Amino acid sequence: MPGVVAFGREICADLALAETREWWLTNGLGGYAAGTVPGTLSRRYHGLLIAPVHAPLGRMLLVAKADASLRLGNQTWPLFSNRWASGAVAPRGHVHLQSFRLDGRMPVWHYAIGGVLLEQRIWMDYGLNATRVAFRLLAAPDGEQPELDLCLMVDCRDHHQVTAWPTLTAEVNADGSHLRVNVAGETVHAQVNAGAWRESINWIENFHLARERERGLEDRDTHLKVAEVTVPLEVEAWAGLTLAYSTAPGSGIVQSQEAFIRRERGLLAAAETIMGPLPGWISQLVLAADSFVFARPVAGQPEGESIIAGYPWFGDWGRDTMIALPGLTLATGRQDTARRILETFAQFVDQGMLPNVFPGRGETAEYNTADAALWYIEAWRAYVAASGDLASLRKHFGVLEQIIQGYRDGTRYAIGLDDDGLVHCGEPGVQVTWMDARIGDWVVTPRIGKPVEINALWYNALCVMREFARRIGGSPSVYEALSGRTRQGFQRFCRSDGQGLYDVLDGPDESGGNDARIRPNQVLAVSLTHSPLESVQQQQVVTICSRELLTSFGLRSLAASEHNYRGQYHGDVMARDSAYHQGPVWGWLLGHFVLAEFRLKRDVALAKRRLEAIQNHLADAGLGSISEIFEGDAPHRPRGAPLQAWSVASVLEAWWRIHAESGKPHNTNANG
């Protein structure tokens, strides 16, 4: 297993440093568990069991904590820490933490107290709403018999909320080593391999959520303590706690851990069949990729799958899913998963559009996106190129044709083809590109008109459809004609001063028509498989993005030289959302820049060096994964969601494609 994330006492015993590092686990159903290295709760989303109680993504926090204390004779040492609203930190169990590491995705703690050495591990059962918390005694003083005291805290609330006031009631049934807790109609099972549960009901109030305070949100939480248990420890034997929603799992701690490790090894083996031997940090990202894929059964397709855009607060978004699909599935040897995702979303194409977002509890999908459907066609291109699956392409080619027809003839939100061969989109009060921040009625970056990346995607889609038509024996003529018009019209984006491309053409009069602000969207006109630009124009784009936008972690969303650039990202919702696309670095754009530069230089060593810059970040924020955004100003602190699908996917896709294409001849043909 990759050994990329590991800390000693220099991090573990420093609460301020340790709290910024979070472990996250998922179960393939949309459920998750998460926490900080020292065991404090710093987000409303931290807990040992967050399950999709209201399918498919109505997630509820069910188990908050299972605090452990080591007992040796008459002495007890807490192995956990808590921050309180008063400002106090008590207890301070992190001072006993000797080391922390990830074994694959499994967090592992080692505690040292006197002569006692103790290991703790946490993992989730794949395909079940179950979390395991296991301990193994590594050493103990001669003649001593250490024990663990476990204190279980539960809740039953939406994971986006906090329990501001203790209103829940719990029915607790303790039967030896098995505990059943019913909270607000939901049942949680807690099973230990030895020991007897003791009912102990008490509300624990005023947990301080430091990360929520930073985000300008409610920062106090309350959880219900329901029971305690004392578990005996034996050297080199696993003692553990199983937490499960609704139904208790049948397997024991040892079998469950072996299954978890075996599955992760299988994921790595599959990826190596595609990309060959992998450096440890890429292997870590292969495992991170799996965290975002989850089951989304739909009518007629019980094995439907999708991609969660990011943890903890996102669900599955059409745009994010299609951008992330090649890196998360094809680069990692999971072609069947890619096909199931594409087939799942095929059922939701409407008026030539793909949904932007699926609300968590299965409400009606929202279609306010001008690019998701175009990314869908690109995802099909990547899938067919990797798999050669023409049968699935033939089956769904009509769906892809609907997308082209919708954009050509016009669809929602003024999306349609203009006389110059370019696609216009957008209406006042609606955000339809990926730069979609909105505060009340204020759309921060409206980009009404002809956005550069929408038209790069449109041209790419037409070229893909031309090739698809040929491969399945159809006529490519309509796509050849449309792509020719678009390629010619795309020249309007090229600035006369040679400084790359306009971001938006033909905007409303009050915006000045053509938007010349330097943004990263232009890089897609080079990174996508089919570019409408000549090689010299591609070079201009790469040069301006490199000079004005490139950082170690991705591209800034706006050049620092622009007057409305925001280099910091913090504060309340208004402060953060107004800055969201005005300077912060977006991780998903790193892969696209690398591919754009590689397209021109074919320099494998340079491309890999660009990507390798991200590896140190894997030991920060969401451990083993890549954050959504970073501040535009150095040192580019990670912000936003600590785990973001397209951030991970873009790096994996770039690594995969560079590995696959490094031996091919240099080709920057504008017609693809």
pLDDT, one tens digit per residue, over 176-185 is 999 999 999 9
Q: Which CATH number fits domain 278-661: 3.40.50.920, 1.50.10.10, 3.40.50.300, 1.10.1030.10?
A: 1.50.10.10
pLDDT at 3: 77
Residue 668's pLDDT is what?
46
The answer to whether the CB of 320 falls within 8 A of the CB of 286 is no
537's CB contacts (< 8 A; 6+ apart) are: 494
What pLDDT was estimated at residue 658?
A: 95
Residue 359: is its pLDDT beyond 80?
no
pLDDT of residue 300: 85
The residues pairing with 505 across neighbouring beta strands, listed in sequence order, are 450
Q: So what's the pLDDT on residue 128?
A: 97
Could you tell me the two tokens for 504? 């938006």
With a cut of 60, say whether residue 347 has pLDDT above it.
yes
Which pLDDT tens digit goes with each residue over 187-230? 999 999 999 999 999 999 999 999 999 999 999 999 999 999 99
Comparing CA positions, the residue from 608, 619, 596 lying closest to residue 524 is 596
Domain with CATH 2.70.98 in the chain: 6-263
Which of 358, 354, 468, 466 has the alpha carbon at shortest distance from 411?
Answer: 354
**8 A C-beta contact, residue 447 and residue 514:** no
Q: Is the pTM for the entire model greater than 0.85?
A: yes
Q: What percent of the chain stands above pLDDT 70?
A: 97
Q: What is the pLDDT of residue 512?
A: 63
User: What gap in Å lies between CA 271 and CA 632, rounded to an integer?
Assistant: 33
pLDDT band at 154 (very low <50, low <70, confident <90, very high): very high
Supply 607's token pair.
């491309």
Supply the pLDDT for residue 55. 86
Residue 672 reports pLDDT greater than 70? no
Amino acid at site 462: L
What DSSP string runs through 105-139? Answer: TEEEEEEEETTEEEEEEEEE-TTSSEEEEEEEEEE
Joined together, the tokens standing for residue 546 give: 């490199």
Better pLDDT: 246 or 50: 50
Measure the CA–CA gap between 305 and 29, rounded to whole angstroms.
10
Give the model confidence (pLDDT) of 446-464 as tens digits: 999 999 999 999 999 999 9
pLDDT tens profile 650-662:
999 999 999 987 7
Is residue 447 within 8 Å of 426, Cβ to Cβ?
Answer: yes
Residues of each domain in the chain carrying CATH 1.50.10.10: 278-661
Report the chain's mean pLDDT, rounded to a whole number.
95
Question: Is the domain 6-263 a CATH 3.30.70 member?
Answer: no
Q: What is the mean pLDDT of residues 552-581?
A: 96
Tell me the average pLDDT across 80-86: 97
Cα 95-96-98 angle, rounded to 5 deg: 105
Query: Residue 607 half-sphere exposure, CB side, CA atoms within 13 Å?
Result: 28
